[in-house]
Structure 1
Amino acid sequence: MSSRSFQGLKQQAEGAAKDAANTFGQAAQDAVNQVTDASQKAIDQACKAAQDGVEKATGQAAEAISGLGKKCGFKK
């Protein structure tokens, strides 16, 4: 095999290795992006559930205080 043929094969191999590395890197980045998006959605849902719970508890507390005020004669 001539050195020119060997050099051509070497360049092809290097190019294929670079392409494979780039493809792998892009696949890894895509996976990270998907995990990040899923995590953000989960966090958003948890925050919404917590906010809804706080609002419900606040409403119930307000009703309880109002009822107590009526029983004590503070409100009609």
Structure 2
Amino acid sequence: YNVCDHGACFREVGSQAISYTTGVPAMIGTKLIAEGLWRKPGVWNMEEFDPDPFMADLNRFGLPWNCVEVPAS
């Protein structure tokens, strides 16, 4: 999960958290394509690419995330 504070986002970029949480992942995807990490011939969904560089960049570009393992009931 990811938690983004509206006030902190507004102070940083002059926008609410929804804009930040929409724009940053789009920028990261574009960056990974430009770097050649997410480039294959043909048409691919982003879920078919290696998620590790994307998840690392979320932390790097201000959207830190956490994973909570929930035991099966």
TM-score norm. by structure 2 comes to: 0.31
Structure with greater contact order relative to length (CA < 8 Å, sep ≥ 6)? 2
Is the radius of gyration larger for structure 1 or structure 2? Answer: 1
Greater helix percent: which structure? 1
